[in-house]
Chains A and B, each alone.
Chain A
């Protein structure tokens, strides 16, 4: 049974570039979450999907951040015109049900903006 996978594991982008981060949740998991984890901090919520519906995007820091999950499985977090303050680890998590229960985390994508 594969867990949550994320790609790429590491990404270096020049300031101003667009990036796309991919998350493959556990098969059959209804809920999918994105978090941003800055160095030395805990994960901070970005957005939440239930199947293909984005139910909560209140944590997205700016309109440069966009997430989608068009078929209710794989999700992509896109950051446009990256800034240095976007440098962080981006974690994806999925959970089986529609409620907020145990979440299974992927290994994260470490984004460095230079």
Chain B
């Protein structure tokens, strides 16, 4: 069975600071992992995905994530937060369907 756990339902960072959103996965097979972003009253938008190629995955809007098998993690990072990054972020693992985490709400403080 596959699942993901997102640590921290709310994260606040100052504008220009590092963004780190944590995701740990559980999978009995090599996982396909995804990060999605959801802006208020909008659908989910794909940020990036890991499909067993390079372990460091670069996505849109300056985000990237590193797959670490030893830690069963797929944390999302961005070197410098922008106000426009404020949104809900979801990690997901692909099994026979998509399994989403409970989300992390990112607040960017000016």
Residues of chain A at the chain B interface (Cβ within 8 Å): 3-4, 33, 35, 40-45, 48, 56, 59, 91, 93, 100, 102-108
B90 touches A43 (CB 8 A): yes
**CB distance A105 to B43 under 8 Å?**
yes
Complex interface bits, B13-29 against A, C-beta within 8 A gives 1, otherwise 0:
00000000000000000
Decide: B97 and A42 in contact? CB cutoff 8 A: no
**Residue B101 at the chain A interface, CB threshold 8 Å:** yes
In terms of DSSP, what is the predominant structure of the interface of chain A? loop
Q: How many angstroms between the C-alpha atoms of A5 and B98 in the bound complex?
A: 20
B46 interface contact, C-beta 8 A: yes
CB distance from A102 to the nearest CB of B (A): 6
Partner of A42, one of B45, B46, B94, B102: B102
**Complex-state Cα separation, A108 to B15, whole angstroms:** 30
Contact call B43/A42, Cβ cutoff below 8 A = no
A4–B100 CB distance below 8 A: no
Q: Which residues of A contact B102 (CB under 8 A)?
A: 40-42
Q: Which of A33, A43, A56, A105 contacts B96 (CB 8 A)?
A: A56
Contacting residues, chain B, for A43 (C-beta < 8 A) = 44, 90, 98, 100
Closest Cβ of chain A to B107, distance in Å, is 15
Q: Are B44 and A91 in contact (CB under 8 A)?
A: yes
Residue of B nearest to A105 (CB): B43
Interface flags, B41-60, vs A, CB<8A=1, else 0: 11111100100000000000
Q: A42-B90, A91-B43, A108-B43 are in contact. Are A103 and B103 (CB under 8 A)?
A: no
Assembled-state Cα–Cα distance A105/B45 (Å): 7
Residue of A nearest to B6 (CB): A42
Inter-chain contact B97/A45, CB cutoff 8 Å: yes
Q: Is the CB of A44 within 8 A of B100?
A: yes
Contacts of B34 in A (CB 8 A): 102
Q: B45: nearest residue on chain A (CB-CB)?
A: A105
CB distance from A13 to the nearest CB of B (A): 19
- Determine the distance from Cα of A33 to Cα of B43 in the docked complex, in whole angstroms: 13
A15 vs B98: C-alpha distance when bound (angstroms) = 30
